[in-house]
Amino acid sequence: MVWTWRFEQQDGTQVAQPDGLEEFPGQGDAESWIGETWKQLLADGVDRAVLIEDGREIYTMSLHEA
């Protein structure tokens, strides 16, 4: 299984990944990575992230603080 993130603006427009596509061996690895990088992604114009497992959307999360 391969886990990746897709990045979007508020209107659903995809945002190119700054350092290319990151692939992770597990969900925990992907979630740890987003936890470490979300502030920089937000500064780069990303509003939300969609977790993908082998092409299937798992969940969407906002990068804006509640």
Question: Is residue 48 within a helix (H) or strand (E), and if so which, with residue range?
Answer: strand 48-53
Question: Cα separation of 52 and 54, whole Å?
Answer: 6
Predicted structure pTM score: 0.90
Task: Check residue 16 and give its pLDDT.
Answer: 85
Q: Where are the alpha helices (DSSP H) in the chain?
A: 27-43
Question: Cα separation of 22 and 11, whole Å?
Answer: 23
Kindly report the length of the chain: 66
Counting the structural domains of the chain, the total is 1
Task: Check residue 65 and give its pLDDT.
Answer: 83
Per-residue pLDDT, averaged over 30-58, amounts to 95
pLDDT tens figures, 1-40: 899 999 999 999 998 876 767 899 999 999 999 999 999 9
Boundaries of domain holding 38? 3-62
Looking at residue 15, its amino acid is V
